[in-house]
Amino acid sequence: MISGIVYIVGAGPGDPGLITVKGVECLRRADVIIYDRLVSPHLLDYAPFQAERIYVGKASSDHIRSQKETNRLLVEKARQGKTVVRLKGGDPFVFGRGGEEALALAEAGIPFEVVPGVTSAIAAPAYAGIPVTHRGVARSFAVFSGHRAELETRGHGDAETAAESRQASADTLGSERGPWNVERETLIVLMGVENLGSIVASLLEEGYSLETPVALVRWGTTPQQETVVGTLGDIVERGRELYPPAVLVVGQVVSLRERLKWFEDRPLFGKRILVTRFREQRSELSCLLAEQGAEPIDFPVIQILPTEDNTPLDEALALPHDWVIFTSANGVKAVWDRLQAAGRDARAFAGVRLCAIGLATAAELAAHGLHADFVLARHIAEAAVAGIGDATGQRILLPRADIAQEALAQGLRQKGAFVDEVVAYRTAIASDPTSNDIRAMLQDGQIDAIVFTSPSTVRGFFESKVQSPKSKAPIVACIGPVTAQTARDLGLRVDVVAKEHTVKGLVAALVDYYQKDGSRGLEKAAEGPTSSVPAPT
């Protein structure tokens, strides 16, 4: 049998956006993924649904036994002809034991590739606003392990090892560079939290001053990032409550954080937000939320299906109309599909006026070379009716979802229009492999907010029957009054309704909500008359 291959891939430090393009490509092709504790779970979503996912995270105490087992597992899976991704936190060759795994593969004659990753040694300080080198402040940086086992096997204390290697590098680089200068080099220590006291003591012994700025960055690059800043004199006391994983940074560069701190200052930093959406749509909303510092969790509650019988839509498209009103981007796509099936194109709308409700709808029309004559930013039926103007005698085509609102057609008919209301697509509850994780997060109160962008996503969410305990209910944010009303009708308490009914408006409303009173959401939810998230029916 042809042997498989093992890709030893760096997953990056935590932020799922910090994996490399090549790393993602490997995951997309994986039959087996063997991953560690510090790997972002979101990355596993890149892998095919049927790929085998094996967790080999371990406590530091049983490291050696587990490492052997992991090595054996890699060889075994590859020998079965599989494409194996060994996904490791940060960079696989920076204290990741990736070298040992590669050696085991080399010995067994298994082909492998190494895909480097963004190491936490540099990325965690960067997300804390600390550049590891800076002109005039630090001209180099060195990365050390603060792990006891590592120190003991070398028979050195951490600082001694550091001093030796710095001396060696100073010697190599020659006198031009000058000797190691504690004021001008940055020291980075991984796995150093547990031995923080002895690491600090060694550095002081070695000549570092008590005033040397120090930072500990915990869970760097993730929404849980926490940074403690101090000096060598007080970091042990200040870092008492800080548990691993954290990166220790020692040196003058730490002082730059005051001005360069960017990540933790964003308005939605640390908020975990469930974004309910259509499976088919890429979530612009999630990107915008992430930009504001939130951790968006995509929850595709609805999927789009073609109608069972296309005849009504095909027949309607063959008739002349004065107006076609599109209420969603999905409606545009569905109509376009049917036009194409009939061998027609954009000329089908020559002389027809087009109305788009929602900016995304207008954008979808534009993608097909169609310019909407009338665009309504707000998803409100009355406004659309008013916008059409004199509807008397007008023939209007309204391609819609199977569960659309009736108000629009009714309003138009009342104004004397002939309305062809045709079902263009169906929506169905999406079956989603990640919903179990989402269920668990809601139950544990780990979701801060849920956002809804349409009545159908509210219904889809409701029918997915995920729920959270009353005391930990997330806040509910809706894009507009119609969506909010649907949520209320289903028994949800709505905390935020966007003033501008667009995804941008929704993000702005959430930012506003948290800036006005950050803690209000959860407390109010705890006292609220109804649970924010429905109990199962």
Give catalytic residues, as residue numbers. 36, 58, 191
CA–CA gap between residue 187 and residue 204 (Å, rounded):
13
Shortest distance (Å) from residue 91 CB to ligand SAH:
4
Please tell me the distance from the alpha carbon of residue 513 to that of residue 497, in angstroms, as a whole number.
10
| Complex with ligand SAH: residue 263 or 461, whichever CB lies closer | 263
Q: Which of residues 46, 112, 219, 349 is near ligand SAH by CB under 6 A?
A: 219
Which residues, numbered 315-354, are part of the site for ligand SAH (CB under 6 A)? none
221 binds ligand SAH (CB under 6 A): yes
507 is a site residue for ligand SAH (CB under 6 A): no
State the CB neighbour count (10 A cutoff) for residue 389. Answer: 11
Closest contact distance (angstroms) between CB of 189 and ligand SAH is 7
- What CA–CA distance (Å, rounded) separates 81 from 491? 52
Give the SS3 label for residue 353: strand
Q: Considering CB under 6 A, how many residues would be counted as binding ligand SAH? A: 25
When asked if residue 244 is in the footprint of ligand SAH (CB under 6 A), the reply is: yes
Q: How near is the Cβ of 199 to ligand SAH at its closest, in Å?
A: 12
Q: How far apart are the C-alpha atoms of 273 and 283, rounded to whole Å?
A: 13
Query: According to CB under 6 A, which residues from 115 to 174 bind ligand SAH?
Result: 119-121, 124
Whose CA is closest to 159, among 173, 138, 177, 180? 180
Per-residue contact flags (x/-) with ligand SAH for residues 16 to 55, judged by CB under 6 A: ----------------------x-----------------
Nearest to 424 by CA among 444, 402, 403, 405: 402
CB nearer to ligand SAH: give 121 or 254. Answer: 121
Nearer to ligand SAH, 217 or 503 (CB): 217
Measured torsion, CA atoms of residues 216, 522, 15, 279, in degrees rounded to the nearest 10: 180
Q: Under the criterion CB under 6 A, does residue 91 sit at the interface with ligand SAH?
A: yes
Shortest Cβ contact with ligand SAH: which residue?
90
DSSP per position, 19-78: S-HHHHHHHHH-SEEEE-TTS-GGGGGGS-TTSEEEE----GGGHHHHHHHHHHHHHHHH
Q: Closest distance between ligand SAH and the C-beta of residue 87, in Å?
A: 11
Class of residue 105 by CB neighbours under 10 A (exposed 0-12, middle 13-18, buried 19+):
buried
Nearer to ligand SAH, 16 or 411 (CB): 16
Using DSSP's 3-state secondary structure scheme, residue 303 falls into strand
State both tokens at 199: 């690491």
Work out which of 191, 381, 391, 450 binds ligand SAH, going by CB under 6 A: 191
Nearest-angstrom CA–CA distance, 278 and 105: 43
Q: Is 95 in the site for ligand SAH (CB under 6 A)?
A: yes
Sole window of 129-137, 244-252, 256-264, 319-327 interacting with ligand SAH (rule: CB under 6 A): 244-252
Q: Is 450 in the site for ligand SAH (CB under 6 A)?
A: no
Could you say whether residue 14 binds ligand SAH (CB under 6 A)?
Answer: yes
Residues at the interface with ligand SAH (CB under 6 A): 13-14, 38, 89-91, 94-96, 119-121, 124, 190-191, 217-222, 244-247
